Amino acid sequence: MLAALRTRIMALERGSSLIASSSSPELAAQTQRLWTLGAAELDQRLSRGLDAASLHEVKAEPSGVAAGSWAAALGFALRLAMRRLQSIEASPAGPPRVLWCWPSVFARELGAPYGHGFAALGLEPSAWLFAETARASDAMWAMEEGLRSQSLALVIGVVGEAELTPARRLSLAAAEHLTPCLLITDPRLSPAGSTATRWRVGARRSASHPFDGAAPGAARYAVALERCRHRPLTGEPVPHLLEWSDETHRFRVAAAMAHRADAPRAAIAGS
């Protein structure tokens, strides 16, 4: 019975996306482009990529310093945004735009987005719109309105927790207007409902720099897929060690740490 209900709900949710796509062929053509991470191992588990007309949640690992945990989740989300922008084409009105919404308490605690930092990631700062609100509920409202505008490539929201009804409204707006939504929430609080995927992200030691051993290399994240609506998980999520390439703007599974190049060398007998 539960399996039949899940199948029925999935059919209804997919149906709303198909209805919306038929009413806007030009927008549908852009949305249907694959939104992938670039790491084949994870993209295959997502049925070739992220659903570009759904709500997706990103949570940091609950352990560690709060600001550091949030930084890992935000860094992962920004790189997903880069992948999204690369998957769609610019319209005659200009390059695709991203809306970022959050309450002012997060802006004060985590710091405002920095244009030069965006540019260093390969993101065009002028393509981003920022909405800082007094309350989390206002940020959720701004996100929903952004999804309904049909003028954005992606909507990103940073809130403590998304209750069931607001999360459901975001999910329906994303499906109806073919605009994906990324929701970054407090790792200590309950996950949001109505999400297509949920990711648990933790920062890891960066790779070695190819030309300077004292400099940091590629950014690395431990990424676990905790929920996948279109392909239910059968066991505990296993984190993947993902590495971000600044040259290709894609994730890849990091080389096996078994080489232990940075481990102390074993003592040589007789030395």
Angle (deg, nearest 10), helices 2-23 and 164-177: 50
Q: Which two tokens stand for residue 215?
A: 């400099």
Task: With respect to residue 230, please indicate whether it lies within any of the assigned structural domains.
Answer: yes
The length of the chain is: 271
CATH number, residue 53? 3.40.50.300
Q: How far is the C-alpha of 199 from the C-alpha of 187, rounded, in Å?
A: 11
Q: Which 3 state secondary structure label does DSSP give 198?
A: strand
Task: With respect to residue 182, please indicate whether it lies within any of the assigned structural domains.
Answer: yes
Residue percentage of the chain with pLDDT more than 90 = 56
pLDDT tens column, 168-182: 999 999 999 999 999
Task: With respect to residue 40, please indicate whether it lies within any of the assigned structural domains.
Answer: yes
Alpha-carbon 211 to chain mean position: 30
Q: Do 167 and 194 form a contact (C-beta atoms < 8 A)?
A: yes
pLDDT exceeds 50 at position 270 = no
Task: With respect to residue 264, please indicate whether it lies within any of the assigned structural domains.
Answer: no
Task: With respect to residue 154, please indicate whether it lies within any of the assigned structural domains.
Answer: yes
pLDDT tens column, 83-103: 999 988 766 666 799 999 999
Q: Do 99 and 155 form a contact (C-beta atoms < 8 A)?
A: yes
pTM (whole model) above 0.85 = no
142: domain range?
34-255
Query: How many CB atoms lie under 10 A from the CB of residue 59?
Result: 24
Average the pLDDT over 23-35 and give the result: 56
**Which pLDDT score is estimated for 129?**
96
Task: With respect to residue 95, please indicate whether it lies within any of the assigned structural domains.
Answer: yes
**Which pLDDT score is estimated for 7?**
62
Q: Which has the higher per-residue pLDDT, 114 or 93? A: 114
Q: Point out the least confidently predicted range of 16-20, 147-151, 206-210.
A: 16-20
Q: Do 264 and 240 form a contact (C-beta atoms < 8 A)?
A: no
Task: With respect to residue 19, please indicate whether it lies within any of the assigned structural domains.
Answer: no
**Which pLDDT score is estimated for 3?**
66
Residue 195 half-sphere exposure toward CB, CA atoms < 13 A? 23
Closest CA to 151 of 25, 18, 62, 27: 27
| Number of domains the chain is built from | 1
Backbone phi, psi, residue 267, to 5°: -65, 140
Alpha-carbon 205 to chain mean position: 20
Confidence bin at 146 (pLDDT 50/70/90): very high
Confidence bin at 21 (pLDDT 50/70/90): very low
Q: Which has the higher per-residue pLDDT, 135 or 90? A: 135
Task: With respect to residue 18, please indicate whether it lies within any of the assigned structural domains.
Answer: no
Q: Which two tokens stand for residue 111?
A: 């710091």
For 63, counting Cβ atoms within 10 Å of its Cβ (0-12 exposed, 13-18 middle, 19+ buried), the class is exposed
pLDDT exceeds 70 at position 262 = no
Average the pLDDT over 11-16 and give the result: 49
**Which pLDDT score is estimated for 90?**
64
Q: DSSP character for 179?
A: -
**Which pLDDT score is estimated for 48?**
82
pLDDT exceeds 70 at position 259 = no
Alpha-carbon 162 to chain mean position: 16
pLDDT tens column, 196-243: 999 999 999 888 887 777 777 889 999 999 999 877 777 778 899 999
Max Cα-Cα span within the chain: 78
